[in-house]
Structure 1
Amino acid sequence: MTKGQGFGFGLGKMKELTEAFKKAQQVQEGAKKLQEELEQMEIEGQAGNGLVKVVVSGNQEPRSVQISNDALNQGAEALSALVTQAMKDAYEKSTATMRERMEDLTSGLNLPGM
Structure 2
Amino acid sequence: MTKGQGFGFGLGGKMKELTEAFKKAQQIQEGAKQLQEELEQMEIEGQAGDGLVKVVLSGNQEPRRVIIAPNALQEDADMLSDLVTAAMRDAYEKSTTTMRERMEQLTGGLNLPGGL
TM value normalised by structure 2: 0.89
Quote the residue 1:16 is aligned against: 17
Per the alignment, do residues 113 and 70 of structure 1 end up closer, same or farther by CA in structure 2, a change over 3 Å counting? Answer: farther
Residues 93/113 of structure 1: CA separation in 2 closer, same or farther (3 Å cut): farther
Aligned AA (1:45) = G
Deviation at 1:113, TM superposition (A): 5.7
Q: How does 1:15-94 map to 2 (within 5 A)?
A: 15-94=16-95
| Percent sequence identity over aligned pairs | 77
3-state secondary structure, aligned to 1:60: coil
Deviations 1:11-66 (A, max 9, x none): x2222111111100000000000001001100000000000000000011000000
Q: How many equivalent pairs are there?
A: 111
Unaligned runs of at least 5 residues, structure 1? none
Note the aligned Cα RMSD (angstroms). 1.3
Counterparts of 2:10 and 2:103, CA distance in 1? 35
CA change 1:53–1:31 in 2 (3 A) is same
Q: Tell me the distance in 2 between the aligned counterparts of 1:113 and 1:13.
A: 18
Greater share of residues in helix: 2
Residue type of the partner of 1:8?
G
